[in-house]
Structure 1
Amino acid sequence: MEVLGNLGVLFLLLLAALLLAFGIYCGYVLWVHAKYDHIPSAPRESFLLGHLPIFWRMMKKKEFVHDLFLQWSEKYGPILRFNALHRVSVMILSPEGVKEFLMSPQYPKDRLVYDGISSIFGERFLGTSLVTDCNYDRWHKQRKIMDPAFSRTYLIGLMETFNEKAEELMEKLEEKADGKKEFSMMTMMSRLTLDVIAKIAFGLELNTLNDDQTPFPHAVTMIMKGMTEMRIPFVQYMPGKQKMIKEVQESVRLLRRVGKECLKQRREAMQNGKEATLDILTQILKGDVLKEIRDDENILDNFIAFFVAGHETTANQLSFTVMALAQHPEILERLRAEVDEVIGAKRDIDYEDLGKLKYLSQVLKESLRLYPPAAGTVRWTGIENVIDGIRIPANTTLMFSTYIMGRMEQYFKDPLTFDPDRFSEEAPKPYYSYFPFSLGPRSCIGQVFAQMEAKVAMAKLVQRFDIQLVPGQSFKILDNGTLRPLDGVMCTLKPRSLPKDFQM
């Protein structure tokens, strides 16, 4: 009896301690709320969980949460607060705020957010790559190593590969171009950009356009799915998720294994005096003066970052662009007239041709405005700021969305209308309200590369084929780590009548 009595006392003491801890935590949450409650926001559904139940319901239904943020911005203004337990994040949809926080190196990426994708389900993923490194000085050293591989001289030399791989895509599309066969344009674009980044960045010939059995497209798809699923708390403990988690882990291990083998072969070639091509991998290995960041794990981090981001975002951009053009035949015809004038009957596109394809540039920019594959970015401020008259406390996570700002009436007239003339030379330039590749020192290193690749692929596609969308598609957007067309852009194609002097 005495033992039972002692256990009862112990239980009561433990319960009292837990209640005290919970009370203290609630007091802390209340104190945090007091610092941020002056910032506009939709009503919280829960004192502790804040807005999380709203987001969780939408994720479960596969609804597009970015459109909810857009609605909130229209109702509550361009500075919004989001509560989640004891954390409060602030979304900045103001050009003044975008300029202040993205253009300056004093506001780093938020470690809590980017550390979350340094590994996936326990497997090292992006580690301390250019994408995830929140230490500005260390990131800057990595960026200096990479910059020469994205110089204008190097990019001009890529035209042969861009043409070669885009031509392989055209050949695959010709097999489908009977006006009846339905296929996913997103799948085809994803395989194209995967082949391009593998060859240009790492000297790998994946040949995913011609090999349906290659594991790489599926691996990347599973990794992006894993990034999305990780947003759900305790997802790794949920029944029914273990198969998906195992596939994601195996996919990450596959890419790191391939990267390790690629790294080994390149080192051996360089040691044997073989002339190395100026690609991303070579640039990393040549950075001998910066050995402190050249450990193999960091090299593999960057291998995966370029491998995944270097094809996923461009594939999605191309898919959205095809979707938009097929919905607007008058814009497609105007683009085709430019392509016919600049490219004519040529098979291969020259670097000089890209600068002449001005309307194509406008089309691609407008596609990125309405459908940016990377919806936005995140920063951290350690100091208090005032933006649009609203005080932002120090030590706050800041969220920025080019998707939302691109659809706000105060920044773009008739924002839901697809209108490439917004980006004509005569049109007013968007003032810190358009940043599909981010802005400032942490902007995407591969943006020129990506747009050259996109131009070559789109010019050839428009030159060769008439595009029809399969009826019944929703044209909704899926957030799968990046934004992509939910239905995959299902198409049918017919070959255009090409001139007799078409140069094969």
Structure 2
Amino acid sequence: MAVFHVLLNWASQALVFLFFLLFVAFLGYCLYIKHIHMKYDHIPGPPRDSFFLGHSPTVLRIMNSGDVMHDKFLEWTKTYGPVYRINALHYVLLCVSCPEATKEILMSRKYPKDSFYKRLFNLFGQRFVGNGLLTARDHEQWYKQRRIMDPAFSSLYLRGLMGAFNDRAEKLMSKLMDIADSKTETQMLNLMNCVTLDVIAKVAFGVDLDLLNNSSPFPKAIETCLKGMVYQVRDRMFEFKPKNWSFINEVREACRLLRKTGAKWIHERKTAMENGEDVPKDILSQIIKSAGQEENMTKEDEEFMLDNFVTFFIAGQETTANQLAFCTMELARHPHVLEKVRQEVDDVIGMKQDISYDDLGRLIYLSQVLKETLRIYPTVPGTSRELPEDMVIAGIHIPGGSTCFFNSYVTGRLEKFFKEPLTFDPDRFHPDAPKPYYCYYPFALGPRSCLGQNFAQMEAKVVMAKLLQRFDFTLVPGQSFDILDTGTLRSKSGVLCSVRHRNH
């Protein structure tokens, strides 16, 4: 019995000591948060919702209501100026809309991507985009991958892909013909998702999905991954709530599907190339050939190829589809712009079915329309960088180690950069108009800008030119023009249209 009392006494003392340690740790964390507040509170910013959570409750409230967080960023920018802070626990994010700082930081290699990108390595424990081109923070590691990928996105190589762009766009035109004949309404976003995923699968990886006529798990998997990414990044407690566990398992399974598919396609192509078989001259072949010329290729480099497969598969589909849907929506809302761009298509393309690379260069006003679409609806709204040392932005001292967020949704909608910013006006991007000074960057800027931006805009031009050439489209009345924030920005309504054959 005495032994029992001794053990009970030890256990009680251990519990007291444990609670004491927890109290000390909690007090230490409180002091650290207070230190962070003192370090950054000279920078303007909205009042925190709480000492611990900072602005997190506001972010979660906006997410859960289905509103767009970037509209709140825009409101805060108008209120607090070109640099302001957002707090969450001991983390601080500095939102920057100063063009001079944007130029300095994004155009230079000395400002690495910040730790936010490490959170995209996996989703809830399942490897997602890993340490590929999008997320690599070490410059040498990133540069090696970029050197491998660059030949696959050169102008000369992309010129040779026009046949595939035309072929996949023709499948969409056939589908639209059936829709026009049946006089049914259709969601343009859904169709654009199908055609852009068909393009990236065929042009990049030599695979025929034909999603306009066949079902596939890929669109749902991509959507699930992006949704999971938003929750993982914006709600640090998301995976600890039991009600979310079922969705988290869906996200993990979607990640596994994409990576398993990528590994299969890469293995099949490498085997065919090693056996001397004829293989498509697509981006995947180019990547494998370039990688084979690198010295010291490791197992991790092979994993990087898979990381980049997932990155290209998602980014090459989702963002272009959203841009095309938004572009269709804005043209239908602005008949004078629609008439002008259609006239250009008629003058340049006429009635011919295959659009050439040179034709794309002559579709100048269509380029303006696509750029204006991305100004108002940048499908990837921003990027972030880490400051290795102290600097001054807009007269405000910024401590070294800070994370700066550059939001092209915000700068594209600020009156000081674009007059009447919510007016859709492609003439802002007329060749003779003043070029926006580091306030328009839908593909980011500098050495870490989007590798696939020329690919994406070639594809968008081909699809839009064919659509304008052959069809009239009007928006179904009563639908919302709101934006859905799912990591990328997409139309909430899906752009519901009535489509008719065009009378020439």
Q: Tell whether the structures are fold-level matches, with TM greater than 0.5.
A: yes
Matched residues in 2 for 1:75 and 1:179: separation? 51
Contact map agreement 1:142 1:293 (CA 8 A) in 2 = no
- Which of residues 42, 62, 87 in structure 2 aligns to 1:83? 87
In the alignment, structure 1 residue 106 sits paired with structure 2 residue 126: no
TM-score for both structures, normalised by structure 1: 0.95
* Residue 175 of structure 1: how far off its partner (Å): 1.1
Superposition pairs of residues 71-150 of structure 1, within 5 angstroms: 71-110=75-114, 112-150=115-153
Contact map agreement 2:279 2:285 (CA 8 A) in 1 = yes
Question: 1:44/1:168 Cα in 2 relative to 1: closer, same or farther (>3 Å)?
Answer: same
1:110-139 per-position Cα deviation (integer Å, ceiling 9, x unaligned): 1x2111111112211111111111111111
Residue 213 of structure 2 aligns with which residue? 210
* Residue 178 of structure 1: how far off its partner (Å): 4.7
* Residue 179 of structure 1: how far off its partner (Å): 8.0
Question: 1:4/1:265 Cα in 2 relative to 1: closer, same or farther (>3 Å)?
Answer: closer
Residue 227 of structure 2 aligns with which residue? 225
Matched residues in 2 for 1:351 and 1:50: separation? 51
- Which of residues 355, 362, 366 in structure 2 aligns to 1:360? 366
In the alignment, structure 1 residue 68 sits paired with structure 2 residue 72: yes
Residue 46 of structure 2 aligns with which residue? 42
Question: 1:179/1:75 Cα in 2 relative to 1: closer, same or farther (>3 Å)?
Answer: farther
Residue 403 of structure 1 aligns with which residue? 409
* Residue 418 of structure 1: how far off its partner (Å): 0.5
Matched residues in 2 for 1:348 and 1:430: separation? 33
* Residue 280 of structure 1: how far off its partner (Å): 2.6
Residue 336 of structure 2 aligns with which residue? 330
* Residue 15 of structure 1: how far off its partner (Å): 2.3
Matched residues in 2 for 1:80 and 1:180: separation? 51
TM-score for both structures, normalised by structure 2: 0.95
Residue 502 of structure 1 aligns with which residue? none
* Residue 52 of structure 1: how far off its partner (Å): 0.9
**Equivalent residue letter for 1:42:** P
Worse overlay, 249-258 or 352-361: 249-258
Contact map agreement 2:152 2:287 (CA 8 A) in 1 = no
Contact map agreement 1:154 1:278 (CA 8 A) in 2 = no
Matched residues in 1 for 2:352 and 2:287: separation? 36
**Equivalent residue letter for 2:120:** I
The DSSP-based 3-state class of the residue aligned with 1:378 is strand
Contact map agreement 1:163 1:456 (CA 8 A) in 2 = yes
Q: CA RMSD of the aligned region, Å? A: 1.5
Matched residues in 2 for 1:4 and 1:114: separation? 48
Matched residues in 2 for 1:33 and 1:467: separation? 53
Superposition pairs of residues 412-427 of structure 1, within 5 angstroms: 412-427=418-433
Worse overlay, 353-362 or 115-124: 115-124
* Residue 492 of structure 1: how far off its partner (Å): 1.1
**Equivalent residue letter for 2:341:** L
* Residue 351 of structure 1: how far off its partner (Å): 1.1
Residue 197 of structure 1 aligns with which residue? 200
Matched residues in 2 for 1:20 and 1:128: separation? 37
Residue 476 of structure 2 aligns with which residue? 470
The DSSP-based 3-state class of the residue aligned with 1:404 is helix
Matched residues in 2 for 1:259 and 1:32: separation? 42
* Residue 293 of structure 1: how far off its partner (Å): 5.4
**Equivalent residue letter for 1:329:** P
In the alignment, structure 1 residue 450 sits paired with structure 2 residue 452: no
* Residue 389 of structure 1: how far off its partner (Å): 0.6
Matched residues in 1 for 2:377 and 2:37: separation? 34
The DSSP-based 3-state class of the residue aligned with 2:136 is coil
Worse overlay, 330-339 or 6-15: 6-15
* Residue 473 of structure 1: how far off its partner (Å): 1.7
- Which of residues 423, 428, 443 in structure 2 aligns to 1:437? 443
Contact map agreement 1:236 1:242 (CA 8 A) in 2 = yes
